[in-house]
């Protein structure tokens, strides 16, 4: 098997279980030196235990790969900085950052508490931005010092809850929509340094999705992380340098490049609230319907 990431140093956050674990294992199988970051928290973000991350490291090393465990909190500014700087200090470089860490605290909007909103936004949105910021600072300094593009990657994690909208997940959906927007903006800002920024919207059967609804054995197989990890491995490789600013929907029987907001039906501007109503109603009728969680037009 050809090794797409031979010698590349890759951080995977939230890598102790589920999709992140599969990313770490497949990246290592393709020659990457992997930093397995995970706080070891519960599904709703409680507690801390590095043993789960170390177990993934042990599995990688047993297979002949290179890996170290990291327990920094990616949603903490200094924790994210330490994760990036300690990786560079240990391995001498950083080539890809996979932002995968996340928690769920699902609740209907009328019942959601402030702490449930803040926790999810902090882990998913700030926990994507903070490591990306510190990695970008490192890559910018390296590019300026050498005068050569760094050929680096940021791979974010969005979700159908953010791209399509899902009842009971206003916190999680808002964060994941923000990640998709951050991906597009980051791709434009970091292109000058040789950094690509992409995201995936994964459909997977993991600890975070268990119990959300019953699934058939066929659906569970289609949502196995092994269908998702190859996309991350390729995006982390040198081969993906011409792909940036994209969100890919992966898993659950899907492999698709998402298409974002575009301007729909138009009308002449009106500066009178008493006359604008019928025009807005007409625009709403003519606009394409929002998508359901399967990416199809709502009925």
Largest CA distance in the chain: 72
Residue 28's Cα: distance from chain center in Å?
19
Q: Which of 23, 91, 164, 172 is catalytic?
A: 172
Q: At what angle do helices 18-29 and 229-236 cross, to 10 degrees?
A: 50
Cα separations in angstroms, 274 against 113, 226, 267: 38, 56, 16
Q: Which long-range contacts (CB under 8 A, 24 or more apart) does 43-52 make?
A: 43/103, 43/104, 43/207, 43/208, 44/103, 44/104, 44/105, 45/103, 45/105, 45/119, 45/123, 52/16, 52/17
Q: Is 172 a catalytic residue?
A: yes
DSSP, collapsed to helix, strand or coil, labels residue 78 as helix
CA distance 155 to 132: 9
CA distance 47 to 103: 12
DSSP, collapsed to helix, strand or coil, labels residue 298 as coil
Cα separations in angstroms, 142 against 150, 182, 236, 281: 7, 22, 18, 53
Structure tokens that stand for 286 in this block? 């003519």
CB-based contacts of 25, cutoff 8 Å, min separation 6: 56, 59, 60, 63, 229
CA distance 44 to 28: 28
The residues carrying an active-site annotation are 172
């Amino acid at each position: 098997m050809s090794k797409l990431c031979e010698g590349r140093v890759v951080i995977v956050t939230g890598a102790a279980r589920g999709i992140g674990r599969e990313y770490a294992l497949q990246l290592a199988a393709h020659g990457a030196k992997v930093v397995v970051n995970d706080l070891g928290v519960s599904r709703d973000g409680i507690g801390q235990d590095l043993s789960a991350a170390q177990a993934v490291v042990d599995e990688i090393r047993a297979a002949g790969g290179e890996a170290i465990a990291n327990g920094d909190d990616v949603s903490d500014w200094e924790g994210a900085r330490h994760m990036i700087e300690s990786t560079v200090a240990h391995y001498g470089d950083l080539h890809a950052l996979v932002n995968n860490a996340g928690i769920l605290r699902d609740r209907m909007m009328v019942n959601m508490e402030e702490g449930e909103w803040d926790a999810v936004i902090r882990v998913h949105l700030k926990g994507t931005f903070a490591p990306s910021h510190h990695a970008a600072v490192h890559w910018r300094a390296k590019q300026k010092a050498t005068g050569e593009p760094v050929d680096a990657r940021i791979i974010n994690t969005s979700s159908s809850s953010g791209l399509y909208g899902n009842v009971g997940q206003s916190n999680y959906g808002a964060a994941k929509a923000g990640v998709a927007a951050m991906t597009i903006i980051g791709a434009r800002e970091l292109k000058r340094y040789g950094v690509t920024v992409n995201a995936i919207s994964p459909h997977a059967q993991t600890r975070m999705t268990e119990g959300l609804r019953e699934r058939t054995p066929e659906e569970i197989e289609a949502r196995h992380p092994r269908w998702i990890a190859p996309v991350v491995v390729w995006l982390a490789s040198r081969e993906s340098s011409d792909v940036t600013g994209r969100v890919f929907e992966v898993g659950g029987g899907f492999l698709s490049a998402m298409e974002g907001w575009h301007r729909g039906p138009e009308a002449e501007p009106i500066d009178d609230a008493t006359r604008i109503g019928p025009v807005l109603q007409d625009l709403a009728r003519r606009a394409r319907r929002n998508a359901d969680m399967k990416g199809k037009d709502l009925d």
